[in-house]
Amino acid sequence: STQEKTPQICVGGSGPAGFYTAQHLLKHPQAHVDIYEKQPVPFGLVRFGVAPDHPEVKNVINTFTQTAHSGRCAFWGNVEVGRDVTVPELREAYHAVVLSYGAEDHRALEIPGEELPGVCSARAFVGWYNGLPENQELEPDLSCDTAVILGQGNVALDVARILLTPPEHLERTDITKAALGVLRQSRVKTVWLVGRRGPLQVAFTIKELREMIQLPGARPILDPVDFLGLQDKIKEVPRPRKRLTELLLRTATEKPGPEEAARQASASRAWGLRFFRSPQQVLPSPDGRRAAGVRLAVTRLEGVDEATRAVPTGDMEDLPCGLVLSSIGYKSRPVDPSVPFDSKLGVIPNVEGRVMDVPGLYCSGWVKRGPTGVIATTMTDSFLTGQMLLQDLKAGLLPSGPRPGYAAIQALLSSRGVRPVSFSDWEKLDAEEVVRGQGTGKPREKLVDPQEMLRLLGH
């Protein structure tokens, strides 16, 4: 049948999940894959999440670019699924549709004072320094000396590191010019990372921790009391967790050598981990106009292993600060009323990437498994979704007969006044960014205004 000859498939979202799913689908010798993306530019969190001082992580862009260069793959940016085109319209135009639109929201703290100026999500802060258009107006106030990050995962560490890195070390990264300017004026000297549970439950990984411990001009503050009795417990934990905890333990309890002691003594900035503390309220300043601290409930652990829970002891503690960043997780949103959505778990309900009860609809990445895991995890998961789809295709479970694919969607978009951005358009923007970075030693100066991007493309 024609379907067997040219399966028309589309993917919604161009982060790692979108690109890795497309890469796998293109193994089918005739499949054609269109990738729709709401931003005018591709790559999702690789561009807008991964820290600017971790350029090596962004090398996956080379693989994604190769995929986009396939004659059977097309990228259509500036097209928002659920708004510019609906999922039923896509399902009508294609043999199969994959949703891989990530996690566009953050989990709220749900405590009083959360709405005060001086409080923002780590997600917005990351978007701000990475040039995400919707966060360019953030204007974080870094005139205070203490910042508190609620959360102890890798995103929390990224944010702490960016706040404390000497600005001259960020000059040759792709951090935005505006963010670098604000960081240069920053008076933040101390950053606390607060967690409800203890050292054995931190969610960050060893590489990121080591980087933090070695951060130029900054010293760690860890309370040895938090680590009492840990030496015995770590014998039983799995190896990666064991190595991580050993590093924490050494840093907290061992006397540094003379060189490290001198380095720490001359450090003008500091960061610390506050364990067993659960945020109850953001405290307002005396005039009530902004955040001035966080009230924390002291906790202790109950239960063992995965089931370990933090329960309040009844004691409270106030931690003064001028900036509160909540880093307790990203969250996916439903994008189309026709697509099942589990709002409790924040995922599209699926079995190995097949969306429950909707034949021909698939999902991959963070919207499939929830907002955890690195790019490599997202890759494995996306290949698996691609595999399921190709299996279904082979088994004749997808609609038979030809499908128009992009031709039909293009007509719809054009009738709605939407002008998609192609991959070669992106390559023009890419080249422009690289040119703007030259002279300052930056790999690129990101364009942050979608209107300007479209203007540069003559749209």
- Binding positions for ligand FAD, rule: CB under 6 A: 12-18, 36-39, 44-45, 49-50, 54, 57, 80-82, 100-102, 104, 126, 155, 158, 330, 335, 365-366, 373-375, 378
As beta bridge partners, residue 273 has 193
Choose between 180 and 379: whose C-beta lies nearer to ligand FAD.
Answer: 379
Choose between 7 and 365: whose C-beta lies nearer to ligand FAD.
Answer: 365
Choose between 37 and 174: whose C-beta lies nearer to ligand FAD.
Answer: 37
DSSP code per residue over 420-447: -B-HHHHHHHHHHHHHHHTTTT-S----
Q: Residue 191 corresponds to which tokens in the numbers above?
A: 């950053």
| Least distance from ligand FAD to the Cβ atom of residue 132, Å | 9
Q: How many residues does the chain have?
A: 459
How far apart, in Å, are the Cα atoms of 262 and each of 166, 212, 266? 18, 17, 6
Task: Give the separation between CA 271 and CA 268, rounded to whole angstroms.
Answer: 11
| Least distance from ligand FAD to the Cβ atom of residue 409, Å | 12
| Least distance from ligand FAD to the Cβ atom of residue 355, Å | 15
| 414: number of Cβ within 10 Å | 11
Choose between 38 and 274: whose C-beta lies nearer to ligand FAD.
Answer: 38
Q: Long-range contact list for 281-286, CB < 8 A, 24+ apart?
A: 281/111, 281/112, 281/113, 282/109, 282/111, 282/112, 282/113, 282/114, 282/116, 282/119, 282/324, 283/113, 283/318, 283/320, 284/113, 284/116
Choose between 148 and 379: whose C-beta lies nearer to ligand FAD.
Answer: 379
| Least distance from ligand FAD to the Cβ atom of residue 211, Å | 11
Query: For ligand FAD, which residue has the nearest CB?
Result: 15
| Least distance from ligand FAD to the Cβ atom of residue 5, Å | 28
Choose between 86 and 264: whose C-beta lies nearer to ligand FAD.
Answer: 86
| Least distance from ligand FAD to the Cβ atom of residue 255, Å | 32
Task: Give the separation between CA 244 and CA 136, rounded to whole angstroms.
Answer: 35
Choose between 265 and 351: whose C-beta lies nearer to ligand FAD.
Answer: 351
Choose between 24 and 219: whose C-beta lies nearer to ligand FAD.
Answer: 24
| Least distance from ligand FAD to the Cβ atom of residue 122, Å | 7
* Side-chain half-sphere CA neighbours of 62 within 13 A: 5
Query: Collapsing DSSP states into helix, strand and coil, what is residue 239?
Result: helix
| Least distance from ligand FAD to the Cβ atom of residue 155, Å | 4
Task: Give the separation between CA 384 and CA 339, rounded to whole angstroms.
Answer: 20
Choose between 325 and 335: whose C-beta lies nearer to ligand FAD.
Answer: 335
DSSP code per residue over 341-368: -BTTTTB--EETTEETT-TTEEE-THHH
Pairing of strands 119-121, 73-76: unpaired
Q: Is the CA virtual torsion 306, 300, 157, 112 positive or negative?
A: positive
**Strand extents, DSSP E, 254-360:** 269-274, 277-284, 291-302, 309-320, 323-326, 330-331, 350-351, 354-355
| Least distance from ligand FAD to the Cβ atom of residue 342, Å | 16
